[in-house]
């Protein structure tokens, strides 16, 4: 990593840590407004972690009006920005929608696969659990969902060059 990249990373990490302290009240009063401003600024800079944290604040209605649609949009953005946590939550939400239909399972598989490809072991565990618990899932449906995930990650990596 280049020296300038390292400096930039340290600055971004410090801003995320500061936002988390405001959101959690770590050693200071909770200030959701400041946390949201910091997360939004970092999200605009491409931080998947900031976008994921902002999405969870919308899900819970912390400092903002609770909005499932805004949270969902932010989670999808966070996933494209590289957040495995966003991928995991999207997968879990896919399964919680009106049962384990084939379409919901394929969506969950895609999200869990993205998390797994990003190195999150939870994604692999959820994939294995889902495939084991759903014997009616067709193998080619699972393969297609994983293939979509691989293509999405490949496009993201190419666009960052």
- Please calculate the CA angle 20-26-32 and round it to the nearest 5 degrees: 50
For residue 137, the 8-state DSSP code is S
pLDDT tens for each residue of 79-132: 999 999 999 999 999 988 766 677 788 889 889 999 998 889 999 889 888 877
CA Rg value for the chain: 17
Q: Give the pLDDT band (50/70/90) at residue 15.
A: very high
SS3 26: coil
For residue 136, the 8-state DSSP code is T
Whether residue 7 is predicted with pLDDT greater than 90 in this model: the reply is no
- Mean pLDDT for 70-80 is 97
SS3 57: helix
Interaxial angle between packed helices 84-96 and 121-133, expressed in degrees from 0 to 180 and rounded to the nearest 10: 20
Residue ranges covered by each domain of the chain: 3-80, 86-159
Of 112 and 1, the one with more pLDDT:
112
Tokens of 60: 């819970």
Compute the distance between CA of residue 30 and CA of residue 15 in angstroms, rounded to an integer: 16
Q: Give the pLDDT band (50/70/90) at residue 16.
A: very high
Contact between 106 and 70 under an 8 Å Cβ cutoff? The reply is: no
What rounded mean pLDDT belongs to the chain? 87
Compute the distance between CA of residue 56 and CA of residue 71 in angstroms, rounded to an integer: 7
pTM listed for this prediction = 0.83
């Amino acid at each position: 990593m280049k020296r300038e990249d390292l400096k930039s990373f340290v600055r971004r990490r410090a801003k995320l840590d500061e936002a988390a302290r405001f959101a959690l009240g770590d050693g200071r009063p909770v200030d959701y407004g400041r946390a949201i401003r910091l997360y939004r600024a970092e999200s605009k800079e491409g931080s998947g972690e900031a976008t994921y944290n902002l999405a969870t604040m919308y899900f819970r209605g912390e400092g903002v009006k609770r909005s499932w649609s805004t949270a969902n949009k932010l989670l999808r953005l966070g996933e494209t920005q590289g957040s495995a946590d966003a991928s995991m939550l999207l997968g879990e939400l896919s399964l919680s929608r009106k049962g384990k239909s084939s379409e919901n399972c394929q969506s969950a598989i895609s999200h869990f696969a993205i998390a797994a490809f990003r190195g999150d072991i939870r994604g692999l565990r959820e994939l294995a659990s889902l495939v084991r618990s759903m014997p009616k899932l067709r193998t080619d449906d699972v393969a297609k969902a994983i293939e979509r995930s691989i293509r999405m990650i490949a496009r993201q990596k190419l666009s960052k060059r």
